[in-house]
Structure 1
């Protein structure tokens, strides 16, 4: 059995070509992301209705505790991401950390299932955040290892699609199943999905492991080069690579001082303004979306009198636009992330502000709410996938600019996506708290106004630094134009 699964020195594992193929690895990572988000979102429409009955929370405190439980997940994700990224870049296998993450997810699901006190529910959300840190850091780094940077945007689109599907299906199924079959039936779905995830992660074989049995290596195995040469950089310019990569490429690599070369890779990455701009965009996008997790179910309950089913269905318009995620990723690969993210943030702002007009129970108000939520989902979908790809572009540019800096034998992609995880987790932490408490203190109108202003403000770093500094790009274009005229 173990030989069939893992192989031996003389006998390759069964179905090696399929289990190490690009489509299987991308599919496995996408399922892992789907499972993580599904279990997270499954309880979103259930929490307001179970805190009072199972945990003895007074109805007046439900809004606060819903926000806190959602934010605890983000806090655990924030704290665990740097360590998970650091560990993943120092292990020869990505699959082993992915399997460890499943233990944390299974433990958290057990706690949420049997928990009848706030302490147990908080502990369950903590382990859930740790599991998410593993999935996002290791899984996204595995994608870069598998497909390389040229197609990473499209792959991130599939990951974004799986995440959005989970966001769509989890609250919907959670609300419907809770209303029809009760609390424990909700978590039975989670355990079934975790079982499927376990089988896929056990079956996965990384490209660098598969080459041990492949002679010659398969053509689609990317050769990772963590210290690119000048020839590689020149080739990328000739091939028309998006300015997200070429902008930071120089013909004469910069040699770092000795003290800088000794810094941990994550410190070097944080010195990149384009990476910081991408992380800020990820944080704000996550904050905008997760703020609805804490206020939207209660808003439709109080305004329209909807039950848990309606609280789950209302998320449908937000996530339907995610089906174009792979297309958005392809556009990011082809044209770079700058204008996609900028347009996304700017266009989302008026849609968020106009939500304040939804204030009473009528058919027109319900239709208006669904339309605005759909437009918000469409505009914010232009943000996340390009920024996920931009993390890879930024690391590549940093390696080209500092070829003398050692990022280790396995690169720094897991650490870079650990930083992405921290930004996303910061959004998951801030979004529910800010949205919930503003809504509790100042109402629905003030909440939507604050979110709209935040979205508009976040377009500034995107337009300036996504894909590299726009000022450097314009100066470079001007110099090339003058050289052509001369």
Structure 2
């Protein structure tokens, strides 16, 4: 076909859904890997490269990990605002990946402590951008009725990165040495950048098509080519812009409404964000409490504790897509509510070993009770994880369907994911406080408090979450 020769070389596979989704997943996995990648290397960096006294390692490690989360919380809403102002996903993502690569190189070089802090700040800011954009791409590519499965896939990726980052870094440092260890994440980032450079954005292909249609006189031929390119490229990478299908006349565009005021005054959004905060806080609290608790009651060392974390997170990798499929079939409200309610007794069960009961001690049934509780918690978490942002997306679609361009020409998805990122990182910052709570009142009483909070969040989700992923007007009204 004559016109086909004038299209960008390889535009079909370079703009295919499979390639774009796979690349977005790989970029998301790289960002999650980077978050925990530095953890097992930090003692070496601080004590050997920066010559800090070992007594300062714990304090400096806590500071550097907290700086990453704080940078994300502050930057995510700002980044999301500007991402929503641009029609391109590719350009801001490429910029974020390049800066992430620079920040990672700065962390690896470790010329000074403050340079290390700057590198972590850059990783936190650009990591938030990568997270927001990649999740937006995945949701936009999912299509109607598949949002749950796509979000389940993304949660599996997050779990894989969470587990894989420290494991890969620790193993590589011991087996290969310092610099070969850092070549791994920097290589991942380089691959991300190269692939994204080769992708063709939908609007680029559509502009080429318009030029071809103007040159081609047969209207039918031009129209079929337009449909072909649109089917290959849309709605990936670019936000879905709603238009009036009743006529082709331009309709009056009202000034964009205040996104955060409208969303944060909706009780459904607040419940969704609360679910995100609590999910993140509970999982982060395990990091702060389990190592010390298991050492005290079972005298378990790092290997045993690491195995418990693997058992906790492995079900999320396996069951994440399955829970997403379940949400697509039966709706969002009931799986989320059931997940939170099931979590409550499992948290109580987790706190029984070591609470003074002889039959639940190290020599009794304490170990099987604890392992069983961890397995159950790991299986229940996939029903909860990702439900908050899914519900926010449902509310956003509802508002945008009622008023054309209510949040601007490019929609408000990036800002929605920005709110989710802030809530998630707030949970990461609040969660470790459970370590102080466990120290003051005991691990078993802390577990009971978390169980009560889980029931409260579950009831709130059952009350305010919409029943399905495609809400009707009645379901969307509270």
Settle same-fold status: TM greater than 0.5: yes
Matched, 1:192 2:187: yes
Matched, 1:422 2:416: no
Correspondence for 1:56: 52
Matched, 1:27 2:22: yes
Unaligned runs of 5+ in 2: 210-224, 247-253, 355-360
Correspondence for 1:467: 466
**Aligned residues, how many?**
438
SS at match of 1:93: coil
CA gap of 1:283–1:476, structure 2 versus 1, over 3 A, is closer
Matched, 1:393 2:387: no
Q: Which moved more, 1:291-300 or 1:95-104?
A: 291-300
CA gap of 1:61–1:456, structure 2 versus 1, over 3 A, is farther
Correspondence for 2:268: 274
CA gap of 1:450–1:114, structure 2 versus 1, over 3 A, is farther
Q: Distance in 2 between matches of 1:104 and 1:305?
A: 43
Unaligned runs of 5+ in 1: 1-8, 232-257, 478-486
Match of 1:340 among 335, 344, 353: 335
Give the Å deviation of 1:290. Answer: 1.9
Q: Any conservation in 2 of the 1:67–1:436 contact (CA below 8 Å)?
A: no
Q: Distance in 2 between matches of 1:353 and 1:450?
A: 9
Q: Any conservation in 1 of the 2:27–2:192 contact (CA below 8 Å)?
A: yes
Correspondence for 1:251: none
Match of 1:295 among 271, 289, 293: 289
Correspondence for 1:458: 457
Correspondence for 1:5: none
Matched, 1:413 2:406: no
Per-residue displacement from partner, 1:239-290 (whole Å, max 9, x unpaired)? xxxxxxxxxxxxxxxxxxx9xx664333323233322222221111111112
CA gap of 1:201–1:329, structure 2 versus 1, over 3 A, is same
Give the Å deviation of 1:405. Answer: 5.6
CA gap of 1:445–1:42, structure 2 versus 1, over 3 A, is farther
Q: TM (normalized to structure 2)?
A: 0.79
Q: Distance in 2 between matches of 1:461 and 1:222?
A: 36
SS at match of 1:288: helix
Correspondence for 2:216: none
Correspondence for 1:217: 227
Q: Any conservation in 2 of the 1:290–1:428 contact (CA below 8 Å)?
A: yes
Q: Distance in 1 between matches of 2:143 and 2:372?
A: 38
Correspondence for 2:68: 73
Q: Which moved more, 1:365-374 or 1:331-340?
A: 365-374
Matched, 1:351 2:346: yes
Match of 1:137 among 132, 135, 140: 132
Give the Å deviation of 1:11. Answer: 4.4
Q: Distance in 2 between matches of 1:49 and 1:436?
A: 25
CA gap of 1:230–1:15, structure 2 versus 1, over 3 A, is closer
Correspondence for 1:102: 97
Q: Distance in 2 between matches of 1:166 and 1:410?
A: 30
Q: Distance in 2 between matches of 1:204 and 1:270?
A: 36
Alignment root-mean-square deviation, CA = 3.6
Q: Any conservation in 2 of the 1:325–1:385 contact (CA below 8 Å)?
A: no
Q: Any conservation in 1 of the 2:284–2:427 contact (CA below 8 Å)?
A: yes
> Which residues in structure 2 correspond to 1:241-260 (within 5 Å)?
none
Q: Any conservation in 1 of the 2:108–2:182 contact (CA below 8 Å)?
A: yes
Q: TM (normalized to structure 1)?
A: 0.78
Per-residue displacement from partner, 1:32-88 (whole Å, max 9, x unpaired)? 1111111112234555787666663665982x6554443322221111111111111
CA gap of 1:51–1:476, structure 2 versus 1, over 3 A, is closer
Q: Which moved more, 1:348-357 or 1:407-416?
A: 348-357
Q: Distance in 2 between matches of 1:49 and 1:294?
A: 21
